[in-house]
Amino acid sequence: MTQYIIVFFISLLGGVVQSVTGFGAGVVIMLVLPYFFDLIQAPGISSTSILALTFLITWKYRSHIRIRKVIMPALIYTVFACTSVMVAKKLDLQLLSLIFGIFLIILALWFIFFSKRVELKGGPVSAVICSFISGLCGGLFGIGGPLMALYYTAITKSREEYLGNLQFVFLTSGIVMNLTRIINGNYTIDLLPFTLIGAVALGVGKVFGLKIGDRIPAEKMRLIVYWAVMVSGVITVLKQVL
């Protein structure tokens, strides 16, 4: 019962953050789930729960999707996400936890201190690098959003175009990636109830987020989230090395 409650409330918070900042549900969910599930199960629950929300946002902004802006990122993201899903099951879970903790620290440091100082220019090189790294992180840890969000911020001209293209990439890659998880045995039927609870909570969180979004600056929300990411990363690393 405790696990169900945890999944519901952390997914609820993830839905709020996603609606305010445009991404971040996976980051928030993966701050907590690895403390209650292993690093094979947790990304599976997170990414499958988010699919329904991703579909709804993609559908809402479907008229703003530009095929030439999504084909290559979606393909690269999907290939490396699926590859990392297949590799994850063969890795030592203690080592994977340590890598995950280090990844969280680097992610937090980047977005807190450096992301505003680096101007990302849209182009084939940026698309390949961002999609490659995001695909690996999405497959291994269920967190592939931040770098792709940065890329689409650079190449889109409006919030609607940004959301439509970004969510299309996450939706198409997410479907294939999660099918790979099922085929590879990383996602099993006993995780389905957690997925359904998470999906419902994300939807509720989105409704709350839309109501309070004007009162909370997106930049402040991101800062809070990434400081929490930093703390979680440090705790995760210390648990593995001490």
pLDDT in tens, the chain (242 residues): 788 999 999 999 888 887 766 667 887 888 888 888 887 888 889 889 988 888 888 888 889 998 888 899 999 999 988 998 888 877 777 777 788 788 878 878 877 777 666 666 667 888 888 888 888 888 887 777 777 877 887 788 887 888 889 889 989 988 998 899 899 888 899 999 999 999 999 988 888 877 776 666 666 666 776 787 777 778 778 777 76
Domain tally, the chain = 1
Q: Which domain holds residue 51?
A: 2-241
Q: Say if pTM beats, i.e. exceeds, 0.75.
A: yes
CB 29 within 8 A of CB 10: yes
